[in-house]
Structure 1
Amino acid sequence: MPSTQLSLNIPPLPSREPASCPNAPVQAPELVRGAALEHYCAGAMQGRTAMVVVEEPLRITVPGREDIILPRTPGDDEHLIAGHLFTLGLIRSHADILDMTFRGNAPAQAVVRLRQTPPRRAPGPLSGGPRIDPEQIFRLRDGFEQRQRLYHSTRATHAAALFKAGGELLAYGEDVSRHCAFDKAVGAALKGRLLTEVDIAMLTSRLASELAAKAAAARIPVLCGFSAATSSGMELAERSGITLIGRMGGDGFTVYANGWRIRS
């Protein structure tokens, strides 16, 4: 069956930089494909057409370093690369990316030249940050769920959103990989010079240590997830001063670390 492209019609987020780098791909990427499937229901197999999310590898080449290969949903690749390099500590700001050249091979490749900068020091624990009304968590969650257009079409993606404490959405990413979704959101905020304004990160995934580490690198004081936290994610959040919130279902949630930011 021919592939079908999905139009998400999501308004762009605010940015104080040009919309894309000069070498970014111009053609819109294919996010989903139509597929002829079989579905078992009520004792019988039935034919069905469904939308399947695209997953393709992206090879990131930084001269002088080992290549990075990320299985991801195409789209927002510039934000993905910037966010990933930032959370690895290879850049301090979007300006540290001198240029980014995309090549449409299989896998797709991005060659990235970076400014030479001193290594980032490991940040100390977060001690400040906002006090959050519990009802605000639910309001953000409900709006976040409505925004997940790709997930509603395929049931196969994760999403990440970055908010101010007052509820303003600063950046958003959606991807087949929960790590890439978070990197896309971080990269978008980094490019727009909005990362320092982020108070809350919200993820659809479980709260594992890798995701808590990304929040710590981005200095985000509150990290929320739809699923539970792991023991290492909880311990890293506790050491980093991050308020870790999971199991956001119905009218309740679980606080795993640093609950003092939640108003009672």
Structure 2
Amino acid sequence: MPSTQFSLSVRTQPSRESATPRPETPGQARELVRGTSLEYYCDGSLHGRTAMVAVEETLRITVSGLEDILLSRTPGDDAHLIAGHLFSLGLIRTPADILGMAFPDNDPGRAVVRLRPVKSRRGLGPLPDGPRIDPERIFRLRDRFEQRQRLYHSTRATHAAALFRADGELLAYGEDVSRHCAFDKAVGLALENRLLAGVEIAMLTSRLASDLADKAATARIPVLCGFSAATSAGMELAEKHGITLIGRISAHGFTVYANGWRLRP
């Protein structure tokens, strides 16, 4: 059973040729997009064409004492996805809480994780007041974000999440067919690199629903942005936790749904 150690770095056994271990899991060797023959209807008739389709596969996560967790995701970067998802559930707080991560029989569709017992999070309070952000910075972050969406540009079928400092430094990025998995991958990467405490802005392609606002609250991210609209429950949760909620970001404007006082020219 090959094992991936998740501590300060996510890795399998490093090769002798490389002194620096890379974050690898069996899933990362698999294809992310697939060329396929399709039919396209235009001008009153069907035409054959070839297009790139995003690969979507199931990952089963087994944690002792819990029901198996099933995630439908883009394969690859699974160690960060698992860590970010367990963090969002309150099952871990740091990478050291993951005692072991194994992919039995080198199967990228199943992971077995051993955890250090951690008390689940309780009673998250409002976030601190900072930071203050120039509204114009949101547009610059949007431009950088869209340049990184390589899978989306190939398939038009994926979501993405980027984590920034208030000064615009990109700390982590994740892309996936699932909006939840994209956010979890970014959080897991920031967690591994001990950068999560420095994240002040999360930018997502998805709608700003309560479950994603809850992930931001768990990660203590004060500003949550999205290209789509917010839901009523997302707004309520953002208000409750003091999250600045920004949606419908376009090239010319955006909508502030909650706690706009952090935006200062």
TM-score by length of 2: 0.90
Q: How does 1:119-134 map to 2 (within 5 A)?
A: 119-134=120-135
Q: Which amino acid aligns with 2:93?
A: R
> Which residue of the partner structure matches residue 223 of structure 1?
224
Corresponding residue number in structure 2 for 1:60: 61
Q: Is 2:27–2:76's contact at 8 Å kept on the other side of the alignment?
A: no
Indicate yes or no: 2:163 matched with 1:172: no
CA distance in 1, matches of 2:64, 2:129: 38
**Residue aligning to 1:18:** 9
Structure 2 match to 1:181 = 182
Is 1:46–2:66 an aligned residue pair? no
Match of 2:153 in 1: 152
The count of aligned residue pairs is 249
Alignment of 1:187-198 (within 5 A): 187-198=188-199
Partners of 1:181 and 1:172 in 2: how far apart? 8
Aligned to 2:163: 162
Question: What per-residue deviation string (whole Å, max 9, x for no partner) do you get for residues 39-64 of structure 1?
Answer: 01111211000000000000000011
Shift of 1:138: 0.2
Which of structure 1's runs of 4+ aligned residues deviate more than 4 A? 104-107
Gaps of 5+ in 2: 1-6, 14-23
Distance across 2 between alignment mates of 1:209 and 1:85 = 18
Segments of 5+ residues of structure 1 without an aligned counterpart are: 1-15
Partner AA of 1:61 in structure 2: T
Q: CA RMSD in A?
A: 1.7
Alpha-carbon contact 2:161-2:203 (below 8 Å) kept: yes
Distance 1:27 1:118, change over 3 A: closer
Residues 62-109 of structure 1 show CA distances to partners (whole Å, capped at 9, x for unaligned) of 011000000000011000000000010001111100010013688810
- Residues 100, 193 of structure 1: alpha-carbon distance in 2 compared, 3 angstrom cutoff: same
C-alpha separation between the residues in 2 aligned to 1:251 and 1:263?
Answer: 17
Residues 221, 242 of structure 1: 8 Å contact kept: yes
In structure 2, the residue matched to 1:74 is 75
Conservation of the 8 A alpha-carbon contact between 1:24 and 1:101: no
The separation in 1 between residues aligned to 2:160 and 2:27, in whole angstroms, is: 24
Other structure's SS at 1:35 match: strand
How far is 1:29 from its partner? 2.0
Q: Would the alpha carbon gap of residues 26 and 85 (structure 1) be closer, same or farther in structure 2, given more than 3 Å must change?
A: closer
Contact 1:24 1:100 in 2 (8 A): no
The residue correspondences of 1:30-45 to structure 2 (distance < 5 A) are 30-45=31-46
Q: Distance in 2 between matches of 1:36 and 1:241?
A: 48
Greater displacement, 152-161 / 122-131: 122-131
Using the size of structure 1 for normalisation, the TM-score is: 0.90
